[in-house]
Structure 1
């Protein structure tokens, strides 16, 4: 599942952020779909759309779509809530529509998917106030996860998985989220209130970054130039 309903105002492009070229003529979403379809059945890939949805749907007609008609008034918690509601009991791997990553990231994550273990992909680099940070409990599971975390151990990079046993709890907590909450709020609520366990999976050894600002885009264009 790719969450791609947002306006992407911080990047300042006239089109949906996932359609931003990142490696030659390839867009962020081109690379995402290439990597996902190389590893998973492409019939299982869906995209949550909102802002200028027709542009994304015309660029990628071979996948299914979920429409967040309230994209202007809601954040990723509500896009993910819709996605979980429409995918039954199956576990879900989801990522933000602005994440650029090496296919080796999925190799690192695959064993946890195979075990149906809920996780948050993280790195251990220094992070700014704008990024989603995390802390861990004494067993290596996520304890706190938000932009407001103090003393964060690194960044949650925007690639996540909810196992089948945890999915109903996460879906319920996303329902509890405020419209402008990020989906990480739902994860945090399911941890604190329902005692769900989300493993922190360190993908620092592979290239992975979110493109939020023009400076991020410039960095990504250099970092991922070889993927063109």
Structure 2
């Protein structure tokens, strides 16, 4: 079965100060962020990998550039956060595990190579960077067994940051979707993961990619770091 992937690209990305959706921001190598993501997915999983993109703000601009992808429309993109966009996408993917990423992540293609073993064994995971822990980022702690315990921007004593590329297994998918359906509209999808860990016993691995680049482009300085990583 082809690997199912989801790109979350419904938001306006107003902090970057661009008119087009943030995922269409052009990088220093001439590719857009989303084009780099598509190429990384195809390189890792082959041409039959299924890519479903959640669109909202200026959806037509994304669809025009990537007509071969599958699309889910979040008409409430200006009133909801990533939890609800991801819920729509997971509902559309049917059975099977799903790899998903935020539409503003510029990342080393080797991250998906590293993820292959977990995906093949159907082990849910979040990719993390332990090299830095910023207050404004999603942070995490782990249990004594090494699985994710807490996961949010408000975590105290976090040992690293989530970088926006994750996988939910077929076995864990239903519980995760149930939690996404009950969280607040403005919650990030990490809240659904955290609730599934606490209430459903989800065993969520942190996959360390600190040695590889993965930059979420929220501000102009993030774009500068992403472009520097591509050199």
Q: Could you state the TM-score of these two structures normalised by the residue count of structure 1?
A: 0.96
Q: Which residue of 1 aligns with 2:21?
A: 16
Q: Report if aligned partners of 2:139, 2:152 keep a CA contact under 8 Å in 1.
A: yes
Q: Which residue of 1 aligns with 2:96?
A: 90
Q: Which residue of 2 aligns with 1:161?
A: 167
Q: Does 1:171 align with 2:177?
A: yes
Please give the alpha-carbon distance, in whole angstroms, between the structure 1 residues aligned to 2:35 and 2:148.
30
Please give the alpha-carbon distance, in whole angstroms, between the structure 1 residues aligned to 2:28 and 2:195.
37
* Selected match of 2:36 from 31, 56, 78: 31
Q: Which residue of 2 aligns with 1:53?
A: 59
The aligned length equals: 225
Please give the alpha-carbon distance, in whole angstroms, between the structure 1 residues aligned to 2:149 and 2:121.
21
Residue 43 of structure 1: CA displacement? 5.0
1:106-145 equivalences under 5 Å are: 106-145=112-151
Residue 222 of structure 1: CA displacement? 1.5
Please give the alpha-carbon distance, in whole angstroms, between the structure 2 residues aligned to 1:31 and 1:157.
16
Residue 77 of structure 1: CA displacement? 0.0
**CA deviation string 1:43-64 (max 9, x = no partner):** 5111000000000011111111
Q: Secondary structure at the match of 2:13?
A: coil
Q: What are the ranges of 5 or more consecutive residues in structure 2 without an aligned counterpart? A: 1-5
* RMSD (Å) for aligned C-alpha atoms: 1.0
Q: Report if aligned partners of 2:41, 2:49 keep a CA contact under 8 Å in 1.
A: no
Please give the alpha-carbon distance, in whole angstroms, between the structure 1 residues aligned to 2:75 and 2:131.
36
Please give the alpha-carbon distance, in whole angstroms, between the structure 2 residues aligned to 1:190 and 1:113.
19
Residue 10 of structure 1: CA displacement? 1.1
Please give the alpha-carbon distance, in whole angstroms, between the structure 2 residues aligned to 1:43 and 1:114.
14
Q: Could you state the TM-score of these two structures normalised by the residue count of structure 2?
A: 0.95
Q: Which residue of 2 aligns with 1:76?
A: 82
Q: What are the ranges of 5 or more consecutive residues in structure 1 without an aligned counterpart? A: none
